[in-house]
Structure 1
């Protein structure tokens, strides 16, 4: 006779105790080569033979101060894999498909990113197609026109979404017209981009010096670097890839209300200056942030979602740039409880800054931080993306491997100190996007500036 799960989980003395969690261990025996090629490209190759695949991540600093840069860069990223002097779009896709591979491209105000994967046996093909796109992309009129039409449609839809409107408002409030704020160009500006503009930008800005290429998979690192060096031998340039000018430090202050007439929800976005990953206080701050709003059982979620029912989600998280970092808090809530939700957010900020978290809470977020890091780097794709994200900040695989030990060494007192230093409500600024006509209760709690 079969037993139920409940019967299996019990004994005559009561519920069967769960076994203790095993020790979380980082991979400490990774074979890595981290070098800079003659053309200035940094290559990080990591041997991780879990499956016979190889993952590739290329990050090219791609900043521009000209307002026309952002729309042109969007078109470039959309069209860079649509054909070269020797391969049209179909030929590129077919060659990659024959080795179980793919490539894709994206751009933001900081970086042009190309990434993909293939069977390990097709690594040379993956590199050949990538090199062709980097050195010989043609950006024909027909392909550019087609990609522009698709971009215009996507941008038009994206810019109407509340979360995008809130992000743009926060960026303007934090940094004015700094190039970092130009995350989604206007559809009308994209429509003005010509093929010649894209080709000129590629020639001037798609450069290896200062860029980083990460290779992770079932290929020996020395062999991987040699393959990259041979395949990208013709990708050269005298200049270095363009990086963003430094961001100004955030100034704490009132939250700016942005009117969105007719909105049934408000988007609350808060931000404060933070520290980089290399700061010795960062591991403690990471754990303090997790306790506040960095995972589903955090204080913010328990308060304004589970207890009060003001929102479906609430989170706090860091945002890193090559020269600095910020903390962000965001949630969306019904218009009539916007003021109450903001009050609870400020309460949780003050509580974590003033009341030291208990050892048990610190242990929970520590286990979560270590476990999520190890899980995210257990696959070839996850490891490649993590290494690439760190590399653009000037860090390497060693930082990733050693970070679990740094987290283990953090004490509850250090978490309390980090929380007091970085999460005081007076350190934050931000925006609230919503229907001003429904947000009058915000005047009762102060620290809010209406248009």
Structure 2
């Protein structure tokens, strides 16, 4: 059997006359040109309704500020999210599931330190029933003993597994390192706290925190925006409170500084997590910063990926991106590496951070990331699900369809000089702090030799 000869990517991209020319880029259309209504209901709920009738479906996202300062708040909030849709005075769990199934609908809830999110979708002709089930759960969730007990047990099992996962350990270490004891750090509750949650506590949390004033609902799909606003107002007329939903305390400004090595004995891989203060989407410089981030590590053709993945093979995945919390924004850099490549990967990451400011992206790089940013925005908003997700991320900052529609133009106006300035201002290595989770016996000497790395208290050992 004759073995096949494989051509390299460079060979594939060439002809006998030279490099194969790239096809010209098409003209990018606007990310959104949509009929919509953005209003606040009498109960204080902001509703953003958008018509996108490419399929006879409706996507709904409800974003409720849901912060708490008690140490056990995260445990109670997780149990509430797991049991919110398990029964009311009018419907038990089976009735809820049956009614949703009959209209081709799905509805679920999740929570983090900042918000409670209720999301789902339905066939458009089933929207009245969908809204009725949602309203019933928001105003009359019963949290019966059996459901709370059952879901708490499942949650305890999942938490036990989650706390052994390297990514969970790294995330928790990063949050504590950069924000101390701020409530935002309590993303993963303790299993013993969850086990101690009672139905009475969950009902009290619902009554005091599942509130419409200050919350945002996004509805995208085959709807008449004016009519659906009226339908929502009617369906949710019983969901009311003079008290606003509980917002997360403002995050402290993130300062650069030392990186914490979190010892994890026996770990064969390390998790590198670096973070620096960035700009919110409302800042006029955000578009330039977004493009600088893409050039650094925000997509597959970025400098960081080219260096530590493609060229040196230190990691399978490297990425940088934004994290928005309240009115604050940070840029995060992530990479998972083998232990013996960790110090070198940290060195090269710092090198690329510095190089981005000192050797800024070329005009060709800037145009590449511009097209990627505009194209990915258009692609992500092409479906009802994607558009609902984008708008629900923007809505807490007071933004909506107009911001989304204008953003391609903002990206188009960014110059190479703008990107260079953003790179210098926001990606300097000294602005970053973070954590590295790994085997300290193998890593400590090399990492501390790089400077600005300190060794912390041991974390969970590799199991």
Distance 1:450 1:39 in 2: 51
Whether contact under 8 Å (1:350, 1:423) holds in the other structure is yes
What does the per-residue CA deviation read over 1:133-162, in whole Å, with 9 as the maximum and x for residues that have no partner? 000100000001110011111111111100
SS at match of 1:268: strand
Pair 1:433 & 2:425 matched: no
Aligned residue for 1:24, secondary structure, equals coil
Residues 249-288 of structure 1: pairs in structure 2 closer than 5 A: 249-288=253-292
Residue deviations 1:166-201, cap 9 Å, x none? Answer: 010000000011000110101111000001100000
Q: 1:28 to 1:69 in 2, by over 3 A?
A: closer
User: Match for 1:218 among 219, 222, 225?
Assistant: 222
Instruction: State the distance in 1 between where 2:42 and 2:210 align.
Output: 16
Once the 2 structures are TM-superposed, how far is the Cα of residue 225 of structure 1 from its aligned partner? 0.2
Cα pair 2:292 2:419 within 8 Å, conserved: yes
Change (3 A) 1:286 1:10: closer
Q: How does 1:35-434 map to 2 (within 5 A)?
A: 35-434=39-438
CA contact (8 A) 1:33 1:44 kept: yes
Asked if 1:446 corresponds to 2:437, the answer is no
Contact 2:32 2:404 in 1 (8 A): no
Closer, same or farther: CA 216–365 of 1 in aligned 2, 3 Å: same
Judged with a 3 Å threshold, the aligned counterparts in structure 2 of structure 1 residues 290 and 10 are, in CA distance, closer, same or farther, namely closer
Q: Structure 1 99/427 Cα, relative in aligned 2: closer, same or farther at 3 Å? A: same
Q: Residues 49 and 229 of structure 2 are in contact (CA less than 8 Å); yes or no, is this contact kept in structure 1? A: yes
For 1:269 and 1:224, how far apart are their aligned partners in 2? 43
Change (3 A) 1:224 1:67: same
Aligned equivalents of 2:114, 2:375: Cα separation in 1: 29
Offset, 1:443: 2.5
Distance in 2 of aligned mates of 1:64 and 1:358: 46
- 1:345-387 deviation digits (Å, cap 9, x = unpaired): 0000000011121111011111111111111111001101111
TM-score, length of structure 1 as denominator length: 0.96
- Cα deviation, 1:57-79, whole Å, max 9, x if unaligned, reads 00000000011111000000000
Using the TM superposition, name which of 202-211 and 88-97 deviates more: 88-97
Classify 1:262/1:46 alpha carbon distance in 2 versus 1 (closer, same or farther; 3 Å): same
SS in 2 for 1:130: helix
Q: Tell me which residue corresponds to 2:5.
A: none
Q: Give ranges in structure 2 of 5+ residues lacking alignment.
A: 1-12, 457-463
Distance 1:188 1:391 in 2: 35
Contact 1:287 1:369 (C-alpha < 8 Å) held by counterparts: yes
Between the aligned partners of 2:144 and 2:204, the Cα distance in structure 1 is: 13
Q: Find the aligned partners of 1:347 and 1:309 in 2 and give their Cα distance.
A: 16
Go from structure 1 to structure 2 and tell me whether the alpha carbon gap of 1:124 and 1:341 turns closer, same or farther (over 3 Å shift). same
Equivalent position SS for 2:390: helix
> CA shift at 1:20, angstroms?
2.3
| Distance of 1:188 and 1:29 partners within structure 2 | 50
Structure 1 stretches lacking a partner, 5+ long: 1-8
Paired residue for 1:4? none
Contact conserved, 2:135 with 2:239, CA < 8 A, in 1? yes
The alpha carbon displacement at 1:19 in A equals 4.1
* 1:43–1:212 contact (8 Å) kept in structure 2: yes
- RMSD of equivalent CA atoms: 1.7
Moved more, 281-290 or 13-22: 13-22
Shift of 1:29: 3.0
CA contact (8 A) 2:31 2:408 kept: no
SS at match of 1:382: helix
Assess, with a 3 A threshold, how the Cα gap between structure 1 residues 313 and 12 changes in structure 2: closer, same or farther.
closer
Aligned residues: 444
Q: Is the 8 A contact 2:124 2:221 kept in 1?
A: yes
Contact 1:321/1:393 (<8 A) preserved: no
Distance 1:29 1:336, change over 3 A: closer
Q: CA deviation at 1:270?
A: 0.6
Q: Counterparts of 2:128 and 2:200 in 1: how far apart (Å)?
A: 31
How far has the Cα of 1:28 moved from its partner? Answer: 4.6
